[in-house]
């Protein structure tokens, strides 16, 4: 009976040890955290890696990102920001948020106002 109790205690200890070895969550980006586009718009890229599933959202309809989500991996994924032309005479600013669980990275996007050529 004592051997069964010791074996059970040993197995519980191993399970707890393995569970505590899980890596802390992270989300990493390479590239600037600020992008500036002229009035014509365009595209830029950055990379994301995270050991948790992640998603990206934009605060403005004139910005799109692709892909908009990814699965947990140490592999860097290239994300493309596409900025539509600004046909107004006012500059505009928006944010892009990369989220993985409770972690968030924020990118600021600024676009120049329309200029007559």
Query: What global pTM score does this model have?
Result: 0.79
Cis peptide upstream of residue 10 (ω within 30 degrees of 0): no
Per-residue model confidence (pLDDT) at position 117: 75
Averaged confidence pLDDT in the chain: 89
pLDDT digit string, tens, across residues 11-60: 555 654 555 556 789 999 999 999 999 999 999 999 999 999 999 999 99
Domains of the chain: 24-111 (2.60.40.10)
pLDDT (0 to 100) of residue 116: 84
Could you tell me if residue 25 is left (phi over 0), alpha (psi between -120 and 50 degrees) or otherwise beta?
beta
Residue whose C-alpha is closest to residue 81's, from 31, 11, 39: 31
């Amino acid at each position: 009976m004592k051997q069964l109790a010791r074996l059970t205690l040993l197995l519980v200890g191993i399970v707890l040890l393995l569970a505590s070895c899980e890596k802390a969550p992270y989300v990493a980006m390479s590239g600037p955290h600020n992008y500036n586009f002229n009035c014509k718009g365009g595209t830029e890229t950055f990379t994301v890696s995270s050991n948790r599933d992640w998603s990206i959202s934009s605060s403005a309809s004139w910005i799109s990102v692709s892909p908009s989500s990814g699965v947990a991996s140490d592999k860097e994924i290239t994300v493309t920001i596409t900025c539509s032309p600004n046909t107004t005479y006012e500059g505009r600013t928006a944010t892009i948020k990369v989220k993985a669980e409770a972690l968030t990275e924020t990118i600021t996007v600024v676009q120049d106002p329309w200029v007559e050529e």
